[in-house]
Structure formats: C-alpha cells, structure tokens
C-alpha cells in the first residue's frame, strides 16, 4: 500500500450487522463507504480505506450507521486523526 493511503477500522459491538456506513465532512454532503457484501457482522472488525480524494480533508467527520434492520444511528462527529478505530455499540 502507498504511504498516502489512509485507513481505519470499524468494530461492530452492536447486536445487529452494519449494513451501511456513511461519512460527511460537513453534515450536508454524505459519502457511503464500501462494506463487505454481508456488511459488518456483530463482533466483527474490518479495515476500511479512505478514497484518496479525502487526503487533504479535516480530521473530524460526521458518521452515520445503518443497521441490517434499516434502523439508523444519529449522526455524530468522529475524529479520525485522534483515533482511527471506530467502535459501534
């Protein structure tokens, strides 16, 4: 992997699989991360790579989770520079 590729991990400690993971730098324009076909199962940790167009973006991003039952988390701010490990649940 190139040195300018940024990644983070997502650990799903909830009881439901994560079906979708959305991120926004401004809580207005949202981007969906590609997840494994079955999403992120309960108890599973996956590594997700940022698109290179985000290389010069701020550390803090809004995050929203959609679960397998189509319920959604409230959007919240996560600082990826301070902690590249997102834990859900």
* Nearest Cα to Cα of residue 33 among 42, 41, 24: 24
The first and second tokens of residue 12, run together, are: 């799903």
Instruction: Report the range of poorest mean pLDDT among 11-15, 30-34, 41-45, 48-52.
Output: 48-52
Instruction: Identify whether 2 is part of a domain.
Output: no
- For residue 19, pLDDT beyond 90: yes
Q: Give me the CATH number covering residue 50.
A: 2.60.40
Predicted confidence (pLDDT) per residue in 58-88, tens digit: 889 999 999 999 999 999 999 988 888 999 9
- For residue 32, pLDDT beyond 60: yes
Domain span at 15: 7-88
CA distances from 52 to 12, 49, 75 (A): 25, 9, 23
pLDDT tier at 3, thresholds 50, 70, 90:
low
Rounded to whole angstroms, the Cα distance separating 39 from 2 reads 26
- For residue 4, pLDDT beyond 70: no
Instruction: Identify whether 80 is part of a domain.
Output: yes
- Total domains in the chain come to 1
Q: Sign of the C-alpha dihedral, residues 53, 77, 21, 39?
A: positive
Instruction: Identify whether 77 is part of a domain.
Output: yes
DSSP state at residue 55: T
């Amino acid at each position: 992997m190139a040195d300018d590729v940024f990644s983070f991990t997502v650990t799903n400690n909830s009881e439901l699989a994560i079906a979708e993971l959305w991120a926004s730098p401004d809580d207005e324009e949202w981007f969906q991360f590609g997840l494994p076909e079955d999403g992120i199962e309960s108890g599973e940790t996956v590594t997700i790579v940022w698109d290179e167009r985000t290389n010069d973006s701020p550390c803090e991003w809004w995050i929203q989770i959609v679960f397998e039952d189509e319920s959604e988390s409230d959007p919240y701010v996560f600082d990826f520079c301070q902690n590249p490990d997102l834990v859900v649940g």
